[in-house]
């Protein structure tokens, strides 16, 4: 049912935890299945230099969270925003159709963290210009 890569990321998730004082934080959830994930990013010079996640959910939700952190670290904000739900599923060598919503959550949580980062940057720039 699950690929070896999904099982590896579920059993040995990468980048678990949270980042104190993160540059951006994004949380997404699916009330139907109960999955909830939060992604924390640190951004330096427009590059995601650190990324961590906390996920409450099924094995596929944990695996997609782990995978997206590996995909996004080291990328610019613009590159990270281009990571799609299909990219996450493809990197995991596929997900069962009933679990594709998990990759949606991972991609959406990353986008939410980036949106939070951009909002904080805009507020910081506004405060500095006043």
* Domains along the sequence of the chain with CATH: 4-122 (3.90.1010.10)
pLDDT at 102: 67
Tens of each residue's pLDDT in the chain, 130 residues:
889 999 999 999 999 999 999 999 999 998 777 889 999 999 999 999 999 999 998 888 999 999 999 999 999 999 999 999 899 999 999 888 887 776 688 999 999 999 999 999 999 999 988 8
CB 54 within 8 A of CB 17: yes
User: Greatest CA span in the chain, whole angstroms?
Assistant: 57
- At residue 6, the pLDDT reads 92
Q: For residues 36 and 4, give the distance between their C-alpha atoms in angstroms, rounded to a whole number.
A: 23
The answer to whether 25 and 116 have CB atoms below 8 angstroms apart is yes
Global pTM reads 0.93
Catalytic annotation, residues:
33, 102
Radius of gyration for the chain, computed over Cα atoms and rounded to the nearest angstrom: 15
Q: Is 94 left (phi over 0), alpha (psi -120 to 50) or beta?
A: left
């Amino acid at each position: 049912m699950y690929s070896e890569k999904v099982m590896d990321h579920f059993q040995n998730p990468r980048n678990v935890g949270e980042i104190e004082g993160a540059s951006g934080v994004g949380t997404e959830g699916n009330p139907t299945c109960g999955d909830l994930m939060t992604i924390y990013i640190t951004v330096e010079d427009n590059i995601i230099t650190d990324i961590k996640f906390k996920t409450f959910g099924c094995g596929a939700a944990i695996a997609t969270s782990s995978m997206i952190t590996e995909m996004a670290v080291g990328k610019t904000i613009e590159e990270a925003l281009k990571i799609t739900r299909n990219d996450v599923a493809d990197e995991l060598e596929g997900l069962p159709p009933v679990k594709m919503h998990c990759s949606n959550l991972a991609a959406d949580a990353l986008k939410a963290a980036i949106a939070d980062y951009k909002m904080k940057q805009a507020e910081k720039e506004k405060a500095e210009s006043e």
